A and B are shown apart, each in its own frame.
Chain A
Amino acid sequence: MATATLPPLAKKDFQTDQEIRWCPGCGDYAILSAVQSVFPELGVPREKFVVISGIGCSSRFPYYMNTFGFHTIHGRAPAVATGLKVSRPDLEVWVITGDGDSLSIGGNHTIHMLRRNIGLKVLMFNNRIYGLTKGQYSPTSEIGKKTKSTPFGASDRPFNPIALALGAEATFVARSVDVFQPHLKAILKTAASHQGSAYIEILQNCNIFNDGAWDSLTERDARSEHIVQLEHGKPLIFGKNRDKGIRLNGLKLEVVQLGNGIGEKDLLVHDEHNPSPTYSFLLAHMGETEGFPTPIGVFRSVEAPRYEDLVNSQIQEIQAKRGHGDLEKLLRAGDTWEVRA
């Protein structure tokens, strides 16, 4: 095969001729664009990519990617993808899901996928709303949220998707934002190289049913005050003048003003490879605490055996030990007797 002479893939190779049906201004466009830019850079032949989704606005994604694609049923994409990946470990399988798809109806599959650490890359589009069904609150909507189905405000506490993934002992957990294109692309590339399940929460704006849900994080003026970027090996610093930091005090995090004797050396230095999920857990809950910035970046990236490797190497070991199965022998296993003519 003349693979060597194939031209390198470009963004347009991953675009389809299908008319895109997201609302104008939807954050999903930016995520699609980022994925289409990153895929050609991964060094994977196009036919090896498979994009699998559930149901939701976000889950229309595969139709717009010129790869193998499967738009499945609500919440079940991780399970479909698990069946594919364990039986075809040669494929690069990406799962596209929403906050409802992944955390309501598909919550069970999400945690079990992460528990198994199967090599799937999961992009969870969190717009804190059910987009496709026209605006009911979702499991990430804030308490008190008024929506079509909660005219007087929601009474359920929301999930923190990062904490949930960490609770399931996910080996790679990250957060990015639809409009932070360079950051998003970098996170996608890092996730692509992770061995095992990668769960990425992408904060996404639904400008029709929940417009501005992430404004406090994305508006140019507020951004640097409300976001802290997690970078491996670097201290946690934020603020317009990069004058604030996060310090670990016992088992608690605190925000400190730099200067007056407090320097970078006093701050928490991010260690995404910290084997203890407790550390990442502290970071996960930071954004919910008054006065703390919301972290984006890689919360956790650790190595663990992959499900598909364990399953397939067990088969190989048994075949090496017992030889390949012999059907004739199998049928005649156990007590048999012969009736003669």
Chain B
Amino acid sequence: MATTVTPPRQRKREVLDRAVIRFCGDSGDGMQITGSQFTNTVAIYGNDLATLPDFPAEIRAPAGTLPGVSGFQVHFSSNDVYTPGDSVDALIAMNPAALKMNLADLKPNGILIANLDEFGETDLRKAQMTSNPLEDHSLDGFRLFSVELTKLTRAALRDLGLDSKSVDRCKNFFALGMCYWLYNRSMDGTLRWIDDKFKSKPLLVQANKLAMQAGYSYCEATEAFQITYEIPPAKLAPGVYRNISGNTALAMGFVAASQQSGLPLFLGSYPITPASDILHELSGYKNFGVITFQAEDEIAAVTAAIGAAYGGSLALTTTSGPGMALKTEAIGLAVAVELPLVICDIQRGGPSTGLPTKTEQADLLQALFGRNSEAPVPVLAPSTPGDCFWIALEASRIATKYMVPVIILSDGYLANGAEPWHVPSLKDLPEFPVKFETNPADFRPFRRNPRTLARPWAVPGTPGLEHRIGGLEKQDVTGNVNYEPLNHEKMVRLRAEKVAAVVQDVPDAVPVGDASGDLLIVAWGSTYGPVTAALKAQREKGAKIGHVHLRYLNPLPKNLGDVIGRYDRVLVPEMNLGQLLMLLRAKYLVDAQGLNKIQGKPFKQSEIERKIEQILAER
């Protein structure tokens, strides 16, 4: 092991345009905090970035075991970043289990920092390893640094008088300090964060700071580290930036929508991974007048939201697949009574409980068709974490304009992944003030706006507007219960036409890349990053390809068929078995082909590139 200390020589500093690093360890090792701290620091420095947190469904699987491994990957660059990175340049592995689970993604000759103190015989056994990889030369293809992270942390904190458990918990900050040194980053941001986080526990403030500084100095002093890296800031558009994850962006988007519509915000929700953070965030925004109702189940969550919508709130319910399944009957009610409602489905792996913490896009058909009878709703999908903010505003605008429930399909990757976000100023936000019906003269609860087909929003408490609504079939205009055959067909068609009319608000599809050519990629949701990166790379190699990324899945842009017709082939990459693919084939009679990955993980850029090359080679 190359840990002998000799006087430091002049170190080499290499300037790179990008780097991908991954922290991995046991769930109890604080890898998510370590990763987010590193992310914040590079963001504030001005790099573009994307992150991929990856944690187990179990809160604490037995320490040191394979199911307990938690990881956090960040890709940062002086250029545009579209994905968290296909493979990693530097891997920090806190134990053998983490090493075993993550090594496959480390680039040849990549940096590997391992916590030597955790590679004893029992540790290896817990990770089901028979030989010590730090010693058996299986890691010879990497730049291995075996560091006594635990012992060095203990030594650094020896004089604090802190209990040994708390001391050992600081070793992630020792590793973080090493990474700051390695990538030439200032520790200031994290020092400030530590001050704030452990405000009430001064001893922990000292301990975490000391551990991080010790990690930094260790690299400085150790002969082993001969190179540091520099990734200059990216050339982002001028403005104010912050890091944002999809769930935070959704929460803020709804607060903004409440303000821009002039309606109080009501959230009905029942906790479920990976949607709970929206509930957590919004429950903190009481000063915006937000009511958050943690219901007894998802059915109560959505029906309470419908009750709030009936009373004139901007009503929202948030969930993931299993909760979506429970809400279906109530969404049908909202369709029937034509009340505005926004439903966020933060998709995760299924069926059933499936992969609670992993990402997937397999609820598309459920969102579009998963209700009894003909119950169409507009469906929108954000493409990046930052886009979640805008999609929240857009869904709220459409819901209130057309008096219709709107589904937002986000996913686990967007929900937890972060990116630098250009903070808009208030004047850039759309205003969509909502007017309730107040005129009792000749009031009819289902008389429609001729352009949008929306019915009036007549909230209880308005004199002269007393009327009844319900899930039974009704007559148009009067809203009276009506079971006549032709009336039913008329109403079914009307509700469908109303949703189809939303196309007025859907911008035409404008392909990125070539406007016509050999191949069009049609995608939606969180595949935006890898598709964009793959398209760029392939076009640089001369391929004639375009990319349409659908934010509106219902209704689809009205020119989509024309756009598809301008290319020889169509590829639809999805994290499901081909759901959008099926829709496009049915709707446009196009022989599109799918690229399908259902592993709970986002696409890699290279996976999409390989498919593009394969299709283009077939010609």
Contact = CB atoms under 8 A, between A and B. Distances in A.
A and B interact: yes
Interface of A: 16, 18, 45-48, 50, 52, 55, 62-63, 65-73, 76, 79-88, 90-91, 108-109, 112, 311-312, 314-315, 318-319, 322-325, 327-328, 330-341
A29 B310 CA distance: 27
B467 A63 contact: no
Given A68-B466, A73-B333, A108-B296, A79 B241 contact: no
Given A73-B329, A335-B242, A337-B240, A327 B285 contact: no
Given A87-B308, A112-B296, A70 B255 contact: no
A45 B296 contact: no
B330 A73 contact: yes
Interface string B413-440: 0000000000111100000000000000
Contacts of B362: none
Contacts of B311: 83-84, 87-88, 91
A298 B454 CA distance: 46
Contacts of A109: 296, 299-300
25 contacts: A18-B468, A18-B480, A46-B463, A47-B463, A47-B466, A68-B466, A71-B469, A73-B471, A76-B303, A82-B304, A83-B307, A84-B308, A87-B266, A87-B307, A318-B287, A319-B289, A325-B288, A327-B259, A330-B255, A330-B285, A332-B242, A335-B43, A335-B44, A337-B44, A337-B46
Contacts of A63: 468, 470, 481
Contact of B240 (A324, A325, A338, A341): A338
B238 interface: yes
Contacts of B285: 325, 330
Given A82-B307, A338-B241, A108 B40 contact: no
B190 to A, nearest CB: 11
Most chain B CB neighbours (cut-off 10 Å) among A109, A318, A322, A335: A335
Contact of B426 (A87, A323, A328): A328
Closest 3 CB pairs of A and B: A71-B470, A83-B307, A83-B304
Most chain A CB neighbours (cut-off 10 Å) among B40, B252, B296, B307: B307
Contacts of B467: 68-69
B475 to A, nearest CB: 12
Contact of B464 (A47, A86, A108): A47
B293 A322 contact: no
Given A71-B470, A83-B308, A315-B291, A88 B240 contact: no
Nearest to B425: A328
B187 interface: no
Contact of A336 (B252, B315, B423, B463): B423
Contacts of A323: 287
A241 B287 CA distance: 63
A62 B470 contact: yes
B165 interface: no
A35 B583 CA distance: 51
B291 A339 contact: no
A312 B305 CA distance: 16
Given A324-B289, A328-B425, 19 more contacts: A18-B480, A47-B466, A69-B467, A73-B329, A79-B303, A80-B307, A82-B300, A83-B309, A87-B264, A87-B308, A91-B461, A108-B297, A314-B286, A315-B286, A315-B291, A324-B287, A330-B255, A335-B43, A335-B189
Contacts of B462: 47
Interface string B457-501: 001111111111111100000001100000000000000000000
A208 B311 CA distance: 37
A80 B329 CA distance: 13
A211 to B, nearest CB: 27
Given A71-B468, A325-B287, A82 B460 contact: no
Contacts of A334: 242-243
A66 B313 CA distance: 23
Given A62-B468, A76-B330, A331-B424, A70 B310 contact: yes
Contacts of B481: 18, 63
A9 to B, nearest CB: 12
Contacts of A55: 471
A16 B467 CA distance: 10
B38 to A, nearest CB: 13
Interface in B265-297: 266, 268, 285-291, 293, 295-297
A71 to B, nearest CB: 3
A112 to B, nearest CB: 4
Contacts of B425: 328
Nearest to A307: B293
B155 interface: no
A268 B424 CA distance: 70
Contact of A70 (B299, B308, B461, B468): B468
B617 interface: no
A85 B264 CA distance: 14
Given A83-B268, A112-B296, A337 B471 contact: no
B460 A88 contact: yes
B210 to A, nearest CB: 23
A112 B470 CA distance: 23
B460 A48 contact: yes
A79 B312 contact: no
B211 to A, nearest CB: 21
B239 interface: yes
B236 interface: yes
Nearest to A14: B466
Contact of A332 (B240, B308, B337, B480): B240
A196 B425 CA distance: 43
A327 B288 CA distance: 8
B523 interface: no
A226 to B, nearest CB: 37
Contact of A87 (B313, B463, B465): B313
B571 interface: no
A71 B305 CA distance: 15
Nearest to A66: B466
A71 B471 contact: yes
A108 B463 contact: no
Contacts of B522: none
B451 to A, nearest CB: 27
A325 B281 CA distance: 14
A73 B463 CA distance: 26
A76 B423 CA distance: 40
B1 interface: no
B306 interface: yes
A328 B462 CA distance: 33
Contacts of A76: 299-300, 303, 330
B158 to A, nearest CB: 32
B303 A80 contact: yes
Given A327-B256, A327-B259, A45 B463 contact: yes
B237 interface: yes
A80 to B, nearest CB: 4
A338 B239 CA distance: 6
Contacts of A52: 307
Interface in B304-335: 304-313, 315, 329-330, 333
Contact of A72 (B44, B465, B466, B471): B471
B305 A83 contact: yes
A50 B289 contact: no
A289 B279 CA distance: 48
Contacts of A311: 291
Contacts of A319: 286-287, 289
Contacts of A70: 307, 310, 337, 468-470
